[in-house]
Amino acid sequence: MAEGKIKKVSIVCSKGSLEGIYPALIMANGARMEGIEASLFFTFFGMDAVTKKKMNKIKVATVGNPAMGIPTWIGAIPGMSAMATRMMLKTMDALDIPPIGEFIEMISDAGCKLFACKATVDMFKLSMDDFCPQVEKVLTVGEFYALSAGAEIIFT
């Protein structure tokens, strides 16, 4: 357990659903607003948040999501994910929570550093051209750990 004020956080975003991506963005934004150095490391499906073709098409996961409070078979009904996504986005808009693309830009402008995981980039056959301009670099896990020296590492 860290003592004193947190000075640096490194946040790992590995889930590609709205409820997987927004916690990382909100925590990074909160860190920057508190003057805490922050970096975001996107891996596996969390990388969808910074992939140009996918970042504005993220949906709520309704199948196998116990927090939804519905049986899995109901979540599998065609249109359920789209409906849940519309409802969630409407609620977030009312709370002035920006869409993912705008949030990524805002966090980057506030000084948060954004990185993509090299293993995932290789696995999904991506390149820097696939990412929004706020992604600074593709890092190996070792490089991420070196960058995170002295940071609290948060996995969302």
Cα angle vertex 142, ends 136, 146, to 5°? Answer: 75
- Helix, coil or strand: residue 42: strand
Q: What pLDDT is recorded for position 139?
A: 97
Number of domains in the chain: 1
Q: What is the pLDDT of residues 133-148, one digit of tens each?
A: 999 999 999 999 999 9
Q: What pLDDT is recorded for position 116?
A: 98
Residue 134 domain flag: yes
- Mean pLDDT of all residues in 23-43: 97
Q: What pLDDT is recorded for position 61?
A: 81
Residue 43 domain flag: yes
Residue 68 domain flag: no
Bigger pLDDT: 1 vs 15: 15
Residue 54 domain flag: yes
Supply the range of the domain harboring residue 31: 8-59+100-155
Q: What pLDDT is recorded for position 82?
A: 86
Q: What pLDDT is recorded for position 72?
A: 75
Give the CATH number of the domain where residue 42 resides: 3.40.1260.10
Residue 143 domain flag: yes
Q: What pLDDT is recorded for position 76?
A: 78
Look up the pTM and report it.
Answer: 0.88
Q: What is the pLDDT of residues 73-112, one digit of tens each?
A: 777 778 888 888 888 889 989 999 999 999 999 999 999 9
Say yes or no to pLDDT of 1 above 70: no
Q: What is the pLDDT of residues 34-68, one digit of tens each?
A: 999 999 999 999 999 999 999 999 998 877 777 77
Q: In what order do the strands lie in the sheet with 135-139?
A: 135-139, 113-117, 37-42, 8-13, 152-155
Residue 70 domain flag: no
The span from the CA of 85 to the CA of 120, in Å, is: 26
